[in-house]
Amino acid sequence: MYPNFLRIILLFIFFSLTSCGFHLRGVTTLSQPLQKLYLKTENPYGQLARNLRDYLNQSGIQVTDSPENATTVLQILSENQTQQLLSVSGTQQTRQYALTLVVTFQITDPHGVVLVPPQTLSEGRTFTTLSDQILAGSNEQNTMYQQMRRAIVYDIMNRLSSRDITTLLTNQKRGT
């Protein structure tokens, strides 16, 4: 009796997830000019660069050690995180913040000629903390910024695989 009931519940969960549009994020296929890429950033060992490099490698993109060995350069122009106080409780103990991460990038050739003009992506989260839990709140805030960086990496990959950027890069390649 229980195994059949369990199967029915599992099937219900499966169909619920698939009907809501849920799907796992897989590898992203990028156009030919992006297959051999150099990642240029002010913070090459930062979390954004590491996450981006990992995702590029998982997608079969060759990330080179220098721009001279690449066909294109993905340049992270800026990465800015901000927090804005949204509200304070009547007892002055609970605070709510809006966390925002904004990343701007562009694609150039190895000589610095801009192939794709600067693109800006942003992620935001709302964060609530109690005044007596400052340390835990700080850890939670860092975790939220990490999640936002991962989301930005997925957004960058989606933007790089978009028809607009593929067309732009293909036209640039034909023009040279």
pTM over 0.85? The answer is no
Long-range pairs of 90-96 with CB within 8 A, sequence gap ≥ 24 = 92/131, 93/130, 93/131, 93/132, 94/128, 94/129, 94/130, 94/131, 95/128, 95/129, 95/131, 96/126, 96/127, 96/128, 96/129
Query: What's the confidence (pLDDT) of residue 28?
Result: 65
pLDDT in tens, 57-101: 988 899 999 999 999 999 999 999 998 888 777 666 667 889 999
- Cα gap 18→172, rounded to integer Å: 39
Of 57 and 172, more confident: 57
Q: How far is CA 136 from CA 85, 112, 118, 131, 139, in A?
A: 18, 44, 36, 10, 5
- Cα gap 38→12, rounded to integer Å: 45
Residue 151 tokens, joined? 């989301």
Query: What's the confidence (pLDDT) of residue 27?
Result: 60
> Taking a C-beta distance cutoff of 8 angstroms, is the pair 94, 129 a contact?
yes
Question: What's the CA dihedral at 106, 111, 114, 116 to 10 degrees?
Answer: -50
DSSP designation for 69: G
Q: What is the mean pLDDT of residues 165-175?
A: 74
pLDDT in tens, 149-160: 999 999 999 999
> Taking a C-beta distance cutoff of 8 angstroms, is the pair 51, 150 a contact?
yes
Query: What's the confidence (pLDDT) of residue 88?
Result: 76
